[in-house]
């Protein structure tokens, strides 16, 4: 589904930049040997100080001058430049993914869910992997030892994920999707605890319990959508596992490289899906084609690219706050555009899901330093 980069620390799964790219995880420039003051590489780039007058050399070696030079040369771009473009990009990302369920419903008027999955997997693999090679060149080629993990990520994050999401969306209301995807932060944390990647905390465990309680309450009141809700929950669980197992890859490769290969390695599922789906049905309306175009351009390509652009400079805690917007957008679209009624069970479930998200995503308090 590729919508949430949630869970604190899993929330920064899209902003962890490998060391070999030259950037730190928080977006600052890492200081390699070539950039450490006094290194032979840096010395070779600068004019020879021996050829300068003695008074200039003395001034340049003054501690105050060196401290000022260090602050200018190694200042953190997260604090020295406006982050408005990155915040705006995250807003657009939430709109791209938050409107996905609505446009999926529109596309289903002319296309089967399997056909939409084929279009999305093929487009994502070609465009995102192509951009990865265009930007990173040969470094976008993964190591042989990482292929197994990439294949597992492609199965959980794209192939199985897409089928469960689209088939579930076709069998449930749009508001159901908004509620269920709000469970992703809690599920991701739960999976991370099970595999030993996170330490159990009572507050976050309470968040998982509260979120699941809301969904179970809502599901019991809507038996007609039981299969659709089950598929949506399965989709969220698969995506949560994907977020956890992809973290080692994101520490070694740029995010665009990882997601490009994850889409491309999902191509094995395309023939199986295409056998039982008409990719270009003659009776599909223009609105169905436009809805499919939105899914491919915005909810597949642009959404991921803008998310990567924002994560280079914004901290994970900031990105986590934006995840609250996604289920809100889905719910508002369901109510105002699709005219789906919001009953008491839906309201109670929404309160529980948002409370669970808040408990899981709330950052820990930093211990106060003793004076």
pLDDT at 224: 74
Measuring CA to CA, how many Å separate 220 from each of 60, 182, 264? Answer: 74, 18, 38
Binned at pLDDT 50, 70 and 90, residue 142 comes out as very high
Residue 236 predicted with pLDDT over 90 = yes
pLDDT at 243: 92
Measuring CA to CA, how many Å separate 171 from each of 163, 269, 277, 346? Answer: 12, 22, 17, 17
pLDDT digits (tens, 9 = 90+) for 322-357: 888 999 999 999 999 999 888 888 889 999 999 999
Residues 326, 181 contacting (CB under 8 angstroms): yes
Residue spans per domain, the chain: 10-16+85-361, 33-73
| Top-confidence residue, 278 or 79 | 278
pLDDT at 164: 95
Mean pLDDT of 164-173: 93
On whether the pTM is more than 0.85, the answer is: no
Q: 119-129 burial, b if ≥16 CB within 10 A, otherwise e?
A: bbbbbbbebbb
pLDDT at 74: 42
Neighbours of 267 (CB within 10 A): 16
- Give Cα 4 to chain centroid, integer Å: 5
């Amino acid at each position: 589904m590729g919508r949430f980069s949630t869970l604190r620390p899993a929330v920064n799964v899209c902003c962890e930049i490998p060391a070999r790219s030259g950037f730190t995880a928080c977006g600052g420039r890492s200081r390699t040997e070539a950039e450490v003051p006094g290194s032979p590489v840096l010395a070779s780039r600068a004019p020879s100080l021996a050829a300068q007058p003695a008074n200039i050399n003395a001034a340049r070696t003054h501690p105050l001058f060196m401290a000022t030079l260090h602050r200018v040369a190694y200042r953190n771009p997260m604090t020295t430049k406006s982050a408005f473009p990155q915040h705006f990009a995250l807003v657009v990302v939430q709109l791209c993914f938050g409107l996905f369920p609505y446009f999926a419903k529109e596309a289903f008027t002319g296309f089967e869910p399997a056909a939409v999955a084929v279009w999305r997997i093929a487009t994502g693999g070609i465009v995102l992997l192509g951009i990865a090679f265009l930007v990173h060149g040969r470094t976008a080629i993964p190591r042989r030892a990482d292929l197994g993990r990439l294949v597992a990520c492609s199965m959980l994050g794209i192939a199985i994920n897409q089928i469960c999401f689209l088939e579930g969306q076709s069998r449930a209301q749009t508001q159901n999707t908004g509620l269920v995807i709000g469970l992703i932060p809690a599920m991701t944390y739960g999976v991370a605890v099970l595999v030993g990647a996170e330490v159990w905390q009572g507050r976050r465990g309470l968040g998982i319990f509260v979120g699941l309680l809301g969904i179970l309450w809502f599901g019991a009141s809507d038996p007609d959508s039981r299969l659709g809700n089950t598929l949506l929950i399965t989709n969220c669980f698969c995506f949560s596992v994907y977020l956890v197992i992809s973290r080692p890859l994101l520490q070694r490769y740029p995010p665009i490289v990882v997601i490009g290969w994850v889409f491309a390695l999902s191509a094995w599922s395309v023939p199986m899906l295409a056998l039982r789906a008409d990719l270009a049905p003659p009776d599909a309306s223009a609105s169905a084609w436009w809805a499919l175009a939105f899914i491919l351009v915005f909810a597949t390509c642009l959404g991921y690219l803008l998310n990567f652009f924002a994560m280079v400079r914004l901290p994970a805690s900031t990105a986590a706050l934006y995840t609250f917007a996604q289920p809100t957008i889905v719910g508002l679209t369901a109510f105002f555009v699709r005219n789906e009624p919001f009953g008491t069970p839906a309201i109670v479930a929404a309160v529980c899901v948002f409370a669970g998200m808040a408990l899981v995503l709330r950052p820990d308090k930093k211990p106060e330093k003793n004076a």
